[in-house]
């Protein structure tokens, strides 16, 4: 956390430097630079150097802010042998296979998204009418969280379950709803 704060302050410093440099070029009478090294350069050369460095800093800050809020497509797990990338499709298929083992739920649809370092899993399915729905939803949520954390190493922040319908015992056996 301390690294992130220091990094943020460094980028704020770069932003301030770039804005100061651009201000120096546009309004030269507002700042007085009287260093001996700067007296050997003409005013035009000095302005071009400051303007170039300032625009480079400004583009670096803008690039960093844009990439800071960019969503990563894959989950990355660092191991001793390198980086393992796991796509959302792989995670969705894993959760789908996990839920297909349960005979009390059917018509399963799974999607997921990544926000920061956390994953959110969205599950939609039909459930049998004879079950206690709230207990079953809680069991599915806990099962998905535990399986992904234990087997793949992905920390799931939340599992959102939507019930698309309640099926009877006959309908789930015959496939007709």
Q: How far is CA 25 from the centre of its chain?
A: 38
Summarised one tens digit per residue, pLDDT across range 126-136 is 887 776 788 88
Distance separating the N- and C-terminal Cα atoms of the chain: 52
Q: How far is CA 42 from CA 29, 38, 46, 111, 176, in A?
A: 15, 8, 6, 62, 85
Interatomic CA distance for residues 106 and 101, integer angstroms: 10
Q: Which fold has domain 85-174?
A: GMP Synthetase; Chain A, domain 3 (3.30.300)
For strands 118-128 and 156-167, give the pairing: parallel
Domain ranges for the chain:
2-68, 85-174
Q: Output the CA–CA distances (angstroms, integers) from residue 148 to 20, 110, 173, in the order listed.
A: 49, 14, 29
pLDDT digits (tens, 9 = 90+) for 90-116: 888 988 999 888 888 888 899 888 776
Q: Which tens digit of pLDDT belongs to each residue from 44-84? A: 876 787 778 778 777 877 887 777 766 656 777 777 888 88
Mean pLDDT rounded to a whole number for the chain: 77
Q: What is the pTM of this model?
A: 0.54
pLDDT at 174: 47
């Amino acid at each position: 956390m301390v690294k992130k704060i220091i990094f943020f302050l460094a980028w704020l410093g770069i932003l301030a430097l770039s804005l100061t440099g651009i201000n120096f070029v546009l309004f030269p009478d507002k700042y007085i630079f009287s260093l001996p090294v700067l007296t050997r350069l003409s005013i035009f050369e000095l302005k071009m150097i400051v303007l170039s460095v300032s625009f480079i800093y400004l583009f670096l800050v803008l690039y960093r802010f844009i990439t800071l809020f960019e969503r990563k497509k894959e989950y990355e797990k660092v191991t001793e042998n390198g980086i393992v990338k796991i796509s959302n499709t792989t995670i969705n298929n894993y959760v789908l296979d996990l839920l297909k083992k349960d005979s009390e739920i059917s018509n399963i649809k799974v999607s997921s998204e990544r926000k920061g370092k956390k994953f959110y899993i969205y599950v939609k399915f039909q459930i049998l009418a004879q079950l206690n729905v709230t207990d079953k939803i809680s069991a599915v949520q806990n099962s998905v969280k535990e399986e992904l954390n234990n087997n793949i190493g992905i920390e799931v922040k939340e599992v959102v379950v939507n019930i698309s319908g309640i099926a009877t015992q006959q309908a789930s056996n015959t496939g007709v709803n």
